[in-house]
Amino acid sequence: MTLNDRINILASFGNDLAAICDGKEVEGFPGFEKIKAYNPWFTEDNVRFCLQNWHSQLNKENLAKFCSSYNISDKLSDFCVAIVMAGNIPMVGFHDFACAFLCGVRIEAKLSSKDNVLMKWAIEQITAKLPELAGRITHTEERLSDFDAVIATGSNNTNRYFEYYFGKYDKILRHNRNSVAIITGDETDEELSALADDVFMYFGLGCRSVSKLFLPRGYDFNRMGEAFQKYADIINHNKYNNNYSYQYAVMGMNKIEHVNFGHLLLTEKKDLNSPIGVLHFEYYDDIKAVENELMQNAENIQCIVAKRKFSENCVNFGDTQKPNIYNFADNIDTIKFITGVCRK
């Protein structure tokens, strides 16, 4: 099986995703209701958004161009890469899987219990496209064994366990990151509407979700509040509402100043990470000082929504949840890592 064969298989899977989003039946697809039943955060709208974004990336031309930057062997390798997947948003582990698949290595995927329906289907759908893949790609929710290198994603606490457990292996270990937005005050209505997507998509559960705003001192929240009403119905999601209501009660009891959009609480706080239903903000007087601070704190930041592209992490309003196949998590080149370690 050549690299071109592997590209064709991923492109075929991309067509499967398109068919699902078009309402067509694809054999084996568990269905949106079953996916949501296992994880209520994986609503049909969020899963569709995920599938559509991956479909836009998984075409032959795009994949061939992506791979052309690397020296990827046509031959399959017996080198095994273990992939410990997170489950905070749908198919969050798929980019690591796709990279390893293109490299032609064996894959042992440890699925998150939060994404053990959709991600399991994706792996099995791809594996079934060629008999030669049988036994080369496995998935489990149990303990990993018999692998040569590892890519693991988890929380800061889990990452400390990863450091201990995978200490002797070549590895990529990822921890918590957050995304932020720098607001100047002259954003258009369209940009503020796009910012709402960055904040609310996947309920703010992803590392690419904007969890903090940097605002010019004296910022007027009225236009932002109006733009964010496009997600007003999010309050009807039971788990989101429970989180929002709890945070609202805590702020009330502790007399914490906040801005209430009716479905989102905004409060002034230094922390990058904010709870579900809450968005932190910090005022600034000098935008350059904010940019410098963010660059110094780069290891904790996934994306920066900003008009001025002062860092490779900067993206346009509305683009945080639309990563392309070239966007490596934590800016660590997964293809380069895999091709490097399997040639040692």
Helix axis angle, 3-21 to 118-127, nearest 10°: 130
Instruction: Report the pLDDT value the prediction gives residue 131, as an integer from 0 to 100.
Output: 85
* Residues ≥6 apart with Cβ < 8 Å to 87: 39, 93, 111, 112, 113, 114, 115, 116, 119
Domain ranges of the chain: 3-176, 178-315
Could you list the pLDDT tens digit for every one of the 344 residues in the chain? 899 999 999 999 999 999 999 999 998 999 999 999 999 999 999 999 999 999 999 999 999 999 999 999 999 999 999 999 999 999 999 999 999 999 999 999 999 999 999 999 999 999 999 888 888 999 998 888 889 999 999 888 888 889 988 999 999 999 889 999 999 999 999 999 999 999 999 999 999 999 999 999 999 999 999 999 999 999 999 999 999 999 999 999 999 999 999 999 999 999 999 999 999 999 999 999 999 999 999 999 999 999 999 998 999 999 999 999 999 999 999 999 999 998 76
CB burial class (10 A; 0-12, 13-18, 19+) of residue 75? exposed
Helix axis angle, 60-67 to 3-21, nearest 10°: 140
State which H helix or E strand residue 302 sits in. Answer: strand 301-305
What is the Cα–Cα distance from 305 to 317, expressed in whole angstroms? 6
Residue 86 in tokens: 């997170």
pTM: 0.95
If one counts every other C-beta atom within 10 angstroms of the C-beta of residue 26, the result is: 14
Residue 214 in tokens: 């940097």
Decide: helix, strand or coil at residue 137: strand
Instruction: Report the pLDDT value the prediction gives residue 132, as an integer from 0 to 100.
Output: 85
Q: What are residue 268's DSSP bridge partners?
A: 281
Instruction: Report the pLDDT value the prediction gives residue 81, as an integer from 0 to 100.
Output: 97
* Residues ≥6 apart with Cβ < 8 Å to 197: 318, 320, 321
Parallel, antiparallel, or unpaired for β 265-268 and 259-260? antiparallel
Instruction: Report the pLDDT value the prediction gives residue 157, as an integer from 0 to 100.
Output: 82
* CATH number of this structure's domain 3-176, picked from the four choices 3.40.605.10, 3.40.50.150, 3.40.50.800, 2.60.120.10: 3.40.605.10
CATH no., domain 178-315: 3.40.309.10
Alpha helices in the chain (DSSP H): 3-21, 32-38, 44-57, 60-67, 94-103, 118-127, 156-165, 189-200, 222-227, 238-253, 287-296, 334-341
